[in-house]
Amino acid sequence: MSRRLAVFVAAVIGLASLLLAVLFRSIVIPLQAAAMNLLSVAASLGVTVAVFQNGWLGGPLGVKAGPIEAFIPVFLFAIVFGLSMDYEVFLVSRIHEAWIRRRDANAALVEGLGSSGRVVTAAATIMVSVFLSFVLGDMRVVKLFGLSLATAVFLDAFVVRSLLLPAVLALAGERTWKLPGPVERRLPRMAIETLRDDPTRERGSLARARMVDEAA
């Protein structure tokens, strides 16, 4: 598992980054997502090692210091990376929609976070509470999973997505939504939003709908 772990991590990050680049037509989004998701996973593993291997706070949590099961890093990485990417896509999708409509990077960032940030933090609060309840059990593996997942979700939602992600996108500005020409031509086009660049199309659709209603 130690020999294959690097290949597993590289495959997951590579495929996720490629999908983000296709969806959002950006180089900045995949790079920051990969780096910040790894940061969340690393912080969670650090807390796990500190408590369950080194014995920090072992008394209050009812655990004894000892080796960590070999399968834990693989399972933990897969679960935490999936949760982190879920929050990433949800937040960035709202920001991207605002960018398409406004073409103002800072305004899009404020609008996107304002419309979805509270949803992410509320969902994360529920998940952290559920995962922390695992610590109340008697099985060491269940405690380990509960504490590590609760730590990862808390850090990802309240530190990474609420602080670091907006800071990176604010520094990148309009460069967030740009791709080099050769990459742009090679990547397929996909969309997860119904919003379009041309606002007159939406007005035309509304006008046609009103005409149909009046005729009826």
- Mean of all residue pLDDT scores within the chain: 81
CATH 3.30.310 fits 2-215, yes or no: no
In whole angstroms, give the CA distance from residue 85 to residue 34. Answer: 9
Q: What is the mean pLDDT of residues 40-49?
A: 88
Distance of CA 5 to the CA centre of its chain: 21
How far from 73 is each of 29, 30, 163, 208, CA to CA, in Å? 25, 23, 26, 56
pLDDT attached to residue 154: 92
More confident residue, 181 or 170: 170
Mean pLDDT of 51-71: 81
Sorted by where each begins, the domain ranges of the chain are 2-215
- Kindly report the pTM of this predicted structure: 0.77
pLDDT of residue 193: 56
Predicted pLDDT of residue 192: 60
pLDDT tens digit string along 5-32? Answer: 888 888 989 998 888 888 888 889 999 9
Section 189-206 average pLDDT: 49
Give the E-state strand segments of 16-138 in sequence order: none
Q: What is the pLDDT of residues 90-147, one digit of tens each?
A: 899 889 888 888 888 889 999 988 888 888 899 999 999 999 998 888 888 888 888 8
Tell me the range of 56-60, 93-97, 138-142, 176-180 where mean pLDDT is highest. Answer: 93-97
- Whether pLDDT at 167 is above 90: yes
DSSP labels, 98-132: HHHHH--HHHHHHHHHHHHHHHHHHHHHHHHHHHH
Look up residue 10 and give its two tokens: 């590289």
For residue 204, pLDDT beyond 50: no
